[in-house]
Structures are given as structure tokens and as C-alpha cells.
A = this chain, B = another copy of it.
């Protein structure tokens, strides 16, 4: 995704910040890795190749990514912040199991289209959205049949 790198570079320049090796490395690994990576998971992957990069730097850099819009922070309820690339792949939404914590991705053009309609009714121009559905997956459903309600 060349656009993502460009956005970040321009952001760095505009803010009077500096382009460093660490930031490039972290951006590389962030874009290469799949979504839903927690900061710790990303840090561990980076450290595998670049043991000199510190935990705090990963945190700081991810906040920069979020600030310039190339990453989006998410909270799935496990106490950790996860960042997702906004340009790397097709948009998708999430089914999150409150039983086992499993995260399923899905995309539904119908839902997207209805969102556009709703936005249009309000004179609203959509930049992005977030849809998270919480519930029980088919593995956890049986074990909660009596406790659920």
C-alpha cells in the first residue's frame, strides 16, 4: 500500500517530526501483519527481527499511525488496544464472542448500503465506520443455554 506510506511521511513532515528507522520498521510490520494485532503481539513480531526496538516506541508509533489516520484503535473488551490498518485490506466488521473471545470477520454489502442511505438522509458523508456485534459463537452457545436468560 504505497498510499499508506505516503500519508504517514506527509504527516511526519507536516508535524515537524522525523523519519526514523524504527518508524519505518514498525510501519512495515504493521502493514505486513494481519489485523487485530494487539500492541504486544506486534511488538513481539518486531522484536523477533529487530531486538533493539523498545516496547514504548511501538506504543508511541502506533499512536502516530492512529493520529494520521492510517490505523484505527479498537477495544474488544480484553483490556488491550488493537490497531487495524485502514487502507491495507477490504473493510470488514466483527462478530465478537463474549464467551471465548473469538473474533470473526464478515462483510455485508447490504449493511453498507443501508448505512449509506441513513447517512444520506442526514446529509452525512461517510469516511469510515465500525460495526461490532457481540454475542455467543456456536461453540459457546450450548454451554450457556440455561444461564443466558
- Point out residues on A near B: beta carbons under 8 Å: 14-15, 69, 73, 75, 77, 95, 97-98, 104, 106, 108, 110-111, 114-115, 117-119, 121-138, 141, 147, 149
Contacts and interface: CB of A to CB of B under 8 A. Distances in A.
A17 B111 CA distance: 41
Contacts of A128: 133-135
Contacts of A98: 127
Contacts of A149: 69
Contacts of A115: 111, 131, 133
B119 A126 contact: no
A123 B133 CA distance: 13
Nearest to A121: B106
Given A108-B118, A118-B133, A122-B138, 10 more contacts: A69-B149, A110-B114, A111-B118, A114-B114, A115-B131, A124-B136, A124-B138, A125-B136, A127-B134, A127-B136
